[in-house]
Amino acid sequence: MRTSHVGMALLAASGSAYAQLGLPMQIGPLHFSESCQKSIFEVFTSGSFASCFRTADLLPLITSPNASIVPVLDNFMTDICGPSDVCSNATLYNASQVILSGCSGDLKNESLSDSVVTTAFGLYPLVRDVLCLKTMNPYTNMSYGGFLGNPPIPVTSSVYNSTNGTFCVTSLLTQLSAYFNHNITVSWIEAALMGKNSTAVQLVKEINPNILCNECIFGAVDLVVEAFPAIANISVVNVTMKLDPNITLNIPQNATLVSLMDKECAYKNYTVTMNGTLPWNITESAQNRTMLNSTLPMGMMNMSMPLNITSPMTMSMPMGMSTSSGSAMPSMTSSA
């Protein structure tokens, strides 16, 4: 693996300076006390979770905000998908308890339960599986008939992991960088989110819905829906309204993510599976996978999650996920 103990030392060393700035006191409606910031920073800069989740790999996102995030994330995924880089249940439990020790009061002030934190760490196996998806049909300058053109950094670059395919995240971000004709950087994302990059904002508005017709996206949704079957029945409009009441979508009120994707991509014979069957050219590269091992009700309509780490040795999680392939799906559709 490319991340070394030196990287962890550098992250810890930079932590003292970065910690003086602290996490943002507020992100959206959420407020962070000093004790909460300290607990979060402790988990992500030292200890077993920082080691197995390879947080040192993400240091360039802080130190080089004007550099492309794609090589950084590709390196991160290479490391966390390896056989020796799997976070144990005990590690996840201990990390959640450290954060709760400093943030429990913050959660209470926001009318949130401690399960929000344990749920986040309980999702680790699913997040790892999604991040470790690889495609044999990554984006290139010939994709879409050459419509989008050359990305700033092609997937054939030596900076990317090409063993048994290309990471789906790398392929999708490369496609977006070609669409936006710009490297995807932390600074660029911040400017776009704050409305300071009018070109990016306009291009986002013009994205065709058939961008969903991508094997990588279907593969990720296949895994998520298998883990949480109730997601298949959630109204996209209702979720959007919870996020931003001012957003108006030109889709049926009862349209779900699955029905929307299946309808939008029907001309390519794309369908979301309910059993984790991946598109034919998508593979799972995560080694020594920690399987999700039980089925629990979802409760997503209330934006709540059922996962909960109850002890260092037991974690409540949704059902085990299959990596079998079978649903043959063709290559990506072209964007309008």
Last residue of a domain, which of 63, 93, 108?
Answer: 63
- Same domain membership, residue 125 and residue 47: no
Are residues 281 and 255 in contact, defined by beta-carbon separation less than 8 angstroms? no
Measured distance CA(221)–CA(211) in Å, rounded: 14
- Same domain membership, residue 52 and residue 112: no
270-314, pLDDT tens digit by residue? 889 888 889 989 999 998 776 553 333 333 223 333 344 444 434
Give the distance from CA 198 to its chain's centroid.
25
Does 224 map to a domain?
yes
Other residues' Cβ atoms within 10 Å of the Cβ of residue 184: 20
Does 236 map to a domain?
yes
Number of domains in the chain: 2
- Same domain membership, residue 92 and residue 208: yes
CA distances for 295 relative to 127, 153, 231, 319, angstroms: 17, 41, 13, 5
- Same domain membership, residue 70 and residue 15: no
Does 334 map to a domain?
no
Residue 227: which domain range? 65-327
- Same domain membership, residue 271 and residue 147: yes
Does 44 map to a domain?
yes
pLDDT at 4: 40
pTM for this prediction:
0.78
- Same domain membership, residue 157 and residue 97: yes
Does 333 map to a domain?
no
Q: How far apart are the first and last CA of the chain?
A: 40
pLDDT at 15: 43
- Same domain membership, residue 58 and residue 166: no
Last residue of a domain, which of 26, 43, 63?
Answer: 63
- Same domain membership, residue 144 and residue 293: yes
- Same domain membership, residue 54 and residue 121: no
Give the distance from CA 26 to its chain's centroid.
22
Last residue of a domain, which of 13, 32, 63?
Answer: 63
Does 311 map to a domain?
yes
Single-letter amino acid code for the residue at 284: E
- Same domain membership, residue 58 and residue 145: no
pLDDT at 291: 54
pLDDT at 19: 44
pLDDT at 83: 82
Query: Strand, coil or helix: what is 289?
Result: coil
- Same domain membership, residue 69 and residue 44: no
- Same domain membership, residue 319 and residue 194: yes
194-213, pLDDT tens digit by residue? 888 888 888 887 877 778 88
Q: pLDDT by residue for the chain (336 residues), tens digit each?
A: 444 443 443 344 344 444 444 455 555 556 778 899 899 999 998 889 999 999 999 999 989 999 999 999 999 999 999 887 789 999 999 999 999 999 988 888 888 888 889 999 999 999 999 999 999 999 998 887 788 889 999 999 999 999 999 999 999 999 999 999 999 999 999 888 888 888 888 888 787 777 888 999 999 999 999 998 988 888 888 887 776 676 666 777 788 888 888 988 888 888 898 888 899 899 999 987 765 533 333 332 233 333 444 444 344 333 333 333 333 333 333 333
Does 332 map to a domain?
no
Does 317 map to a domain?
yes
pLDDT at 13: 39
pLDDT at 25: 58
